[in-house]
Amino acid sequence: MSDYKGIFVVGEIENGSLSSLTRELLGGARRLADTMQDEVGLFLVAKEPGNAGQEGITLGADKVYVSTDPALLDMNPDAYVFVVTHLCSQIKPLLCLIGQTDLGRDLAPRVAARLEAGLCMDCIHVDVNEERNGFIQTRPAYGGKALSVIASTNGRPQVNTVRSKAMEPLLPQDQRTGETIAVQESPDSSSIRIRILEREAATSGGIKLEDAKVIVAGGGGIGGPEGFDMIKDLARRIGGEVGATRVPVDENWVPLSMEIGQTGKIVNPELYIAIGISGAAQHITGCLNSKTIVSINKDPDANIFKISDIGLVGDYRDVLPVLIEKFQER
């Protein structure tokens, strides 16, 4: 293991506190570090270093590295690549865990390439190997139809992105102590080629799809934006969020933030209702871990039925009004 030590988590802040995925990564990192009798470091970008740092410590971090650099606060990926690469070169962690988020997907390969490190994207499980000299990663392959188990012994560090709900957060332990370290390193202007011109808030306004317990998703079979009004109505009545396949996004019926799948969000709700969705591998990979999948499709041979717990064959225009009425009665 040479002079590489510990686990380094790249965290993200949402509404002033650690994102749910960051909490999960910290829990996973703490369990691995305990097995290896090692330390957990957490990197955060925060306006209020004290609060964020303390939260990270109660959830498993030993050291929290906090940057308040404006370019990082602005979520500029180039700035993140620069600072995370720099910190990894200095701290030399054995394993670097990054969330499989928009930022993480961009950051991880670029950091790994600069460090000439090992890289495994979209992990659903990470373990240390028996010899304690490397890691074993599990990730979906072939659009979720298979799982690949990847052993890495040479990556220093091993850089992994991890899906939401793949690791368990710890319960906060207020008595835990740790150290908060201010990150002084700022990206130099030559390393920043991306300019953020404008930001647009995602339109959903409700719970994040990744955290939703119930999702009602529509596909190409919905036929247009007005069809999504019915989907939103059902979602509202059952306390769910609205998702979509790539077709409604490409057609501009719904915003990109609603896309679920390989290039969209990975979700794990208790209930996933798929309406007018064919069940393409690229979509299924994003919702396969839902506890119960209910599908409505007019084609009895639609692929989505193969992964569904309950399948309703019919035109959604006939089925949904009945469902909506039933929930109205309750």
Ligand X SMILES: Cc1cc2nc3c(=O)[nH]c(=O)nc-3n(C[C@H](O)[C@H](O)[C@H](O)COP(=O)(O)OP(=O)(O)OC[C@H]3O[C@@H](n4cnc5c(N)ncnc54)[C@H](O)[C@@H]3O)c2cc1C
Q: Where do contacts with ligand X occur on this chain (CB under 6 A)?
A: 219-221, 245-247, 259, 261-264, 276-278, 280, 282-283, 286, 296-299, 302, 315-317
Nearest CB to ligand X, comparing residues 317 and 326? 317
Beta bridge partners of 260: 265
Lookup: tokens for 100: 């499989």
CA distance 235 to 217: 9
Nearest CB to ligand X, comparing residues 14 and 250? 250
Nearest CB to ligand X, comparing residues 278 and 308? 278
Which DSSP helix (H) or strand (E) runs through 292?
strand 292-297
Nearest CB to ligand X, comparing residues 11 and 218? 218
CB of 317 to ligand X, least distance (A): 6
Torsion of CA 27, 73, 212, 287, to 10 degrees: -80
CB of 78 to ligand X, least distance (A): 25
> Is the alpha carbon torsion for 164, 169, 174, 179 positive or negative?
negative
CB of 275 to ligand X, least distance (A): 7
Nearest CB to ligand X, comparing residues 34 and 299? 299
If 0-12 CB within 10 Å is exposed, 13-18 middle and 19+ buried, where does residue 95 land?
Answer: buried
Task: Give yes or no for a contact between 39 and 60, defined as CB atoms under 8 angstroms apart.
Answer: no
Helix (H, G, I), strand (E, B) or coil at 83: helix
Nearest CB to ligand X, comparing residues 179 and 299? 299
Lookup: tokens for 7: 């686990």
CB of 258 to ligand X, least distance (A): 10
CB of 285 to ligand X, least distance (A): 8
CA distance 34 to 265: 31
Nearest CB to ligand X, comparing residues 48 and 250? 250
CA distance 66 to 51: 11
CB of 39 to ligand X, least distance (A): 36
CB of 122 to ligand X, least distance (A): 12
Three-point CA angle 17, 21, 27, nearest 5° = 95
